[in-house]
A and B are shown apart, each in its own frame.
Chain A
Amino acid sequence: MLKQIEGSQAMAEAIGLCRPEVICAYPITPQTHIVEGLGAMVKDGRLKGCEYLNVESEFAALSVAIGSSAAGARTYTATASQGLLFMLEAVYNASGLGLPIVMTLGNRAIGAPINIWNDHSDAMAARDAGWIMLFAESNQEAVDLHIQAFRLAEELSVPVMVCVDGFILTHAVERLDIPSQEQVDAFLPPFEPVQVLDPADPISIGAMVGPEAFTEVRYLAHHKQMTALDRIPELAADFAAAFGREAGGLLKSYRLDDAETVVLAMGSVMGTIKDVIDDMRADGARIGGVSLCSFRPFPIGPVREALQNAKRVVVVEKDLAVGLGGVVAANVRMAMRVFDVPVCTVIAGLGGRSIPKTSLRRTFEAAARNELEGLHFLDLNWDVVNRELERAGEKRRSGPVAENILKDLGLIMHKVM
């Protein structure tokens, strides 16, 4: 059913349709609207048979989820940013125990400096935690990915994180197609756990494993994700057949035919990139795009296949591995290591910095001319940076960097704190 609805509310409705049995969450912007929506649905009876817990921290939220999932309940939680870091120990634990929890990550920057706006730093911090990580390009896909996520998680007994860009998706009001309960029920069978805490058949979950078996345990987790490389496209196909629209899959390519410059990105920025590609194509540029949906497992084969004819690859990513560069680009380079093709990293949109089409176009054109450096910071204000570096060079106590920059930019006139 088509609805004019906020992204978060739409996701909440979709999650509700998946009939979760336990939901627990702790508030953090920009995830709040999703769990508020679900809370209201439980409270007013729209979502039946579901226990909703307001817990005291994200660590507790995921811990509750671990308990309820191990006890055989379909379990959902959501977080963002600092919250993900706060629960990180449990993030690893949930996957280590093979618990099919679905969690929405409303992608947001990580402080300090504290920042509530969107980027992918939080997701990147948990990239090796053993979760399947799917990035939604649009709110429609965010809705659809959650439905697929439960099925994927439960089939493989592995937790799935659905990453949605904070504010850009979570707070945007759009016209979205919310499926019916019958459609979701037909797609998503009831949860049948591979292991469950049941007095009728007691088992011990969470043993201590020493060197003699730890590698094997880890390999099996890896193997599970490799299996997901097959299952994700299959599920996406199933989904398309059932719901009549594309969503998910490992990646989606855009106007790749004869593309010499290929731009790869994850999440909502792909919308802007597609616009830029369209504009440049209109002007005759041979440019195309790849929207990566499955970041974990990382589809090395499909990425390589998609990029095999490119002369250059530009990875636009909303994160920074400080001291190295782009995380996604590093992964892409791994896929491309057999080809002699430059992979450039464009760090963009950190902490909610807008990503204007003009800036992107300028950057892609530079890339097409082979003038783009390996690591490029989109719209970096070099004046500010240089001034701060200068100050820092002069005296040891040059004051707080962020504040200095804001002062330089004329955004604050004096110390406010």
Chain B
Amino acid sequence: MPNETVQPIKFYQTGTLTVGNRLLDPEKRTVQASGERTNAITSGHRACQGCGEALGARYALDAAMRATGNRVVAVNATGCLEVFTTPYPETAWQLPWLHSLFGNAAAVASGVAAAMRAKGRPEVRVIAQGGDGGTTDIGFGCLSGMFERNDDVLYICYDNEAYMNTGVQRSSATPPAARTATTPAVGDKPGNVFGTGKNLPLIAMAHGIPYVATASVADLRDLEAKVQKAMTIRGARYIHVFVPCPLGWGSASQDTIKLARLAIESGLFPVFEAEYGEVVRSRAIRRKVPVEDYLKPQRRFAHLFKAGKPDVDRIARLQAVADANIKRFNLLRPDGDA
């Protein structure tokens, strides 16, 4: 490893969850803490201030590049990530990257992987990536096919819970009650309706593929570990990364990581790993919070907190969603403190 990354023990806190915990062995330190990290997405990209997707993608791809010695190709679905990184004449990508269409990233990636096999270069690994819309909706057919064939592709979904690039419309990953441009906060059931949507990680698991995980920009170490692990496995793999979108969610740009954290700590976004269709690990909640803590700072949920008359019913239903996750994935355990 390059010298600079092996920072001599200088100053650190016991057990900190920070990016650079120098108490850890050098090889266990985060990729992001390294001055030598590849910055898969370099500066100058046009993501909004505080974009969680820009961050999540750099986290994931830097980790993948580290894990493969930079032998990785990325295929990108249409969406914010694609648009903000590659407006002619500038690209922010530092690795070989291909954008084809909105709904075909998984298939294109299968093609790249097939080509690498045919060319006798199986060491070159392939990542497909897209937003929640490009993954759970329009790209779902290709994704399911890639899973089912167990093609050697890691698919990463950056879930910001709506079609952001086209102006915040509902996707099948939009949570209940959330306001989007196509689920406006009007009428007696404002926002997205309850009882809809799909859980892609569980669907991915149902394909019986070797590895499925959820991750979040709020837990870098977990995310990196999962990407790294995924890169050691051959076959179809899926990582679903939770990435807040300040623009679409109506949140403050500095709150991106905080909101991602609250989503985990409330139980609304369970972080877990599954192998061959079985959940093998989940990340316990460290400091449980009520869903309100997560919902309140976001304007897309503002209608739930109207002055004087909070929508207690629907807040309770969202709490029930969180509680169900907590139960299902056993998120409240004594090992909560990492």
Report if A and B touch in the complex (beta carbons < 8 A).
Answer: yes
Point out residues on A near B: beta carbons under 8 Å.
Answer: 21-22, 24, 49-51, 53-57, 59-61, 63-73, 75, 89-90, 93, 97, 197-199, 201-210, 212-213
Is the Cβ of A68 less than 8 Å from the Cβ of B115? yes
Is the Cβ of B118 less than 8 Å from the Cβ of A51? yes
Q: Is B276 an interface residue (CB 8 A)?
A: no
Q: Is B241 an interface residue (CB 8 A)?
A: no
Further contacts, 19 of them, CB under 8 A, given A53-B111, A204-B86: A53-B149, A54-B149, A55-B145, A56-B144, A60-B104, A64-B114, A66-B100, A67-B98, A67-B107, A67-B108, A67-B113, A69-B115, A71-B112, A89-B101, A90-B104, A197-B112, A204-B93, A206-B97, A209-B88
Q: Is B82 an interface residue (CB 8 A)?
A: yes
Bound-state CA distance A198–B98 (Å) is 11
Q: Could you tell me the distance in whole angstroms from the C-beta of A64 to the nearest C-beta in chain B?
A: 4
A-B pairs with lowest CB-CB distance, top 5? A67-B111, A206-B99, A56-B145, A71-B115, A63-B107
Central interface residue in A53, A57, A60, by most chain B CB within 10 Å: A60
Contact segment of B7-15, B68-76, B247-255: B68-76
Q: Which residue of A lies closest to B65 (CB)?
A: A199
Instruction: List 16 A-B pairs, Cβ < 8 Å.
Output: A22-B114, A51-B118, A53-B149, A57-B145, A61-B107, A64-B107, A64-B114, A67-B75, A68-B118, A71-B116, A93-B101, A197-B98, A206-B97, A207-B91, A209-B88, A210-B88
Q: Which residue of B lies closest to A73 (CB)?
A: B115
Bound-state CA distance A205–B151 (Å) is 22
Is the Cβ of A206 less than 8 Å from the Cβ of B145? no
Q: Is B167 an interface residue (CB 8 A)?
A: no
Is the Cβ of B88 less than 8 Å from the Cβ of A198? no
Is the Cβ of B141 less than 8 Å from the Cβ of A57? yes
Q: Is B119 an interface residue (CB 8 A)?
A: yes
Q: A67: which of B83, B93, B109, B119 is its contact (CB, 8 Å)? A: B109
Per-residue interface assignment for chain B, residues 88 to 130, with 1 indicating a CB less than 8 Å from any chain A CB and 0 otherwise: 1101011111111101100111111111111100001000000
Q: B98: which of A65, A201, A206 is its contact (CB, 8 Å)? A: A206
Is the Cβ of B73 less than 8 Å from the Cβ of A199? yes
Q: Could you tell me the distance in whole angstroms from the C-beta of A93 to the nearest C-beta in chain B?
A: 5
Q: Which residue of B lies closest to A64 (CB)?
A: B111
Bound-state CA distance A67–B105 (Å) is 9
Bound-state CA distance A72–B98 (Å) is 13
Is the Cβ of A63 less than 8 Å from the Cβ of B101? yes
Point out residues on B near A: beta carbons under 8 Å.
Answer: 70-73, 75-76, 82-83, 85-89, 91, 93-101, 103-104, 107-119, 124, 141-142, 144-145, 148-149, 151
Q: Which A residues are CB-close (under 8 A) to B142?
A: 56-57, 59-60, 63
Bound-state CA distance A357–B116 (Å) is 51
Contact of A50 with B118 at beta-carbon distance under 8 Å, contacts A64-B107, A67-B98, A67-B112 already known: yes
Q: Which B residues are CB-close (under 8 A) to A49?
A: 118
Q: Could you tell me the distance in whole angstroms from the C-beta of A43 to the nearest C-beta in chain B?
A: 15
Is the Cβ of A203 less than 8 Å from the Cβ of B83? no
Is the Cβ of A56 less than 8 Å from the Cβ of B98? no
Q: Which B residues are CB-close (under 8 A) to A199?
A: 70-73, 95-96, 124
Bound-state CA distance A206–B145 (Å) is 23
- Tell me if A's interface is mostly helix, strand, loop or mixed: mixed
Central interface residue in B72, B113, B118, by most chain A CB within 10 Å: B118
Q: Which residue of B lies closest to A50 (CB)?
A: B118
Bound-state CA distance A349–B280 (Å) is 60
Bound-state CA distance A63–B148 (Å) is 16
Bound-state CA distance A184–B103 (Å) is 36
Bound-state CA distance A65–B93 (Å) is 23
Q: Could you tell me the distance in whole angstroms from the C-beta of A66 to the nearest C-beta in chain B?
A: 5
Q: B108: which of A63, A89, A203, A207 is its contact (CB, 8 Å)? A: A63
Q: Which A residues are CB-close (under 8 A) to B108?
A: 63-64, 66-67, 70
Is the Cβ of B87 less than 8 Å from the Cβ of A63? no
Is the Cβ of B95 less than 8 Å from the Cβ of A208? no
Q: Could you tell me the distance in whole angstroms from the C-beta of A320 to the nearest C-beta in chain B?
A: 29
Bound-state CA distance A207–B96 (Å) is 13
Q: Which A residues are CB-close (under 8 A) to B70?
A: 199
Bound-state CA distance A55–B141 (Å) is 10
Q: Could you tell me the distance in whole angstroms from the C-beta of A63 to the nearest C-beta in chain B?
A: 4
Bound-state CA distance A176–B75 (Å) is 42
Q: Could you tell me the distance in whole angstroms from the C-beta of A409 to the nearest C-beta in chain B?
A: 39
Contact of A205 with B104 at beta-carbon distance under 8 Å, contacts A21-B118, A49-B118, A56-B144 already known: no
Central interface residue in A61, A199, A202, A204, by most chain B CB within 10 Å: A204
Q: B103: which of A59, A75, A97 is its contact (CB, 8 Å)? A: A59
Q: B100: which of A57, A97, A198, A201 is its contact (CB, 8 Å)? A: A97
Bound-state CA distance A24–B110 (Å) is 10
Q: Which A residues are CB-close (under 8 A) to B89?
A: 207, 213
Q: Which B residues are CB-close (under 8 A) to A209?
A: 88
Central interface residue in B73, B94, B107, by most chain A CB within 10 Å: B107
